[in-house]
Amino acid sequence: MTIRLPKFIVTSVVRGSRQGESHGGVYTVDFDKQEGARHVDWNTADIDWEGRGADRGLRGIAFDGDDIYIAASDELFVYDRDFKVTASYKNRYLKHAHEICRMETRLFVTSTGFDSLLSFNLETMEFDWGFHLQRAYERWTGHTFDPRGDLGPRPVNDFHVNMVHVDTGGIFMSGLRTSALLHLSNRMEVHEVCVLPGGTHNARPWRDGVLFNDTASDAVRYVPRQGQQQAFRVRRYEDSELLSFGIDDSNIARQAFGRGLCAVDDRFVAGGSSPSTVTLYDLQSNQVVGSVNLTMDIRNAIHGLELWPYGD
């Protein structure tokens, strides 16, 4: 039986880009056809050039019916299926957003610039809940706040909270400097699920373990509670194949930077990397199915990565 390979929607950011240059975009990647198509070129004069500075472009992706929600640094955009912007939403506590996740009638958004999670209510179309992560006396803690008011946290980026995953087991989050996957209970208590390497992206529960981009080691890893872990090396290219190699003054753009992770089912997982490449892994056979490259510009890196839910 022939397995039909999946189609994905992808956002990219450009690491170390300068004003006046492209800052990434939105693509679909079809593994059956082994091709990608760009639908949005994110080149805008409204970018905050005083911000974090490392990544400029579009980030996390989520869906609600025919609406496609995509996070920019400080704004949540709504696109239709033709990739036309139909609405956008801001909040004073949304800064340097990264990943987003939908659960029922809510979107959960990482607000990295506040070490917080925000919840966007899809019924009232407003941000109406927030959680600020803290650590005190060697213990994880935090507090909720109402992002509609002015009593929220001050801007702080101690943990670089950049990943949220929500399922029936609760709210999970992690960051570059949490060194752990964290679980937020119904009582708003923070518990450490497992230890993670520093610099991890996209950590989430999967099957009976944890799946993540071990970005510092250029690997995608699945670590079960029991048994042998699986690891795949992120795809690399010859230096001679790369564009813009060595011209990034900030020295943050590099190839094989793993970010963006999508579990297709209990067997297949897709991972993103730079220069913007999506690779499909088969964890049942422990093989790489294939890769689709969107550009060889080393500064252009995958960020958001989700299954395309609308068929062809």
DSSP secondary structure letter of residue 240: G
Q: Find the distance separating the first CA and the last CA of the chain, reported in whole Å.
A: 21
- Cβ atoms of residues 45 and 70 within 8 Å: no
Q: Please say if the pLDDT value at position 268 is more than 90.
A: yes
Judge whether 34 lies within some domain.
yes
Judge whether 312 lies within some domain.
no
Judge whether 1 lies within some domain.
no
d(CA 250, CA 43): 20
291's enclosing H/E stretch is strand 287-293
Q: What angle do CA 39, 40, 46 make, to 5 degrees?
A: 175
pLDDT band at 14 (very low <50, low <70, confident <90, very high): confident
- Tens digit of each residue's pLDDT (9 = 90 or more) over 53-95: 345 678 999 999 999 999 998 999 999 999 999 999 999 999 9
Residue 268 belongs to domain spanning: 7-307
Judge whether 134 lies within some domain.
yes
Kindly report the number of other CB atoms within 10 A of residue 104's CB atom: 6
The CATH number covering residue 92 comes to 2.120.10.30
Tokens of 35: 């091709």
Judge whether 261 lies within some domain.
yes
Number of domains in the chain: 1
Judge whether 2 lies within some domain.
no
Judge whether 103 lies within some domain.
yes
Tokens of 67: 């609406």
- Tens digit of each residue's pLDDT (9 = 90 or more) over 199-250: 999 999 999 999 999 999 999 999 999 989 999 999 999 999 998 766 544 4
What is the value of pTM for the model shown? 0.92
Given this model, what pLDDT does residue 4 score?
A: 81
50 CB-near residues (< 8 Å, 6+ apart): none
Instruction: Give the 3-state secondary structure of residue 186.
Output: coil
Judge whether 219 lies within some domain.
yes
Residue 49, amino acid: W
Given this model, what pLDDT does residue 254 score?
A: 86
Given this model, what pLDDT does residue 245 score?
A: 67
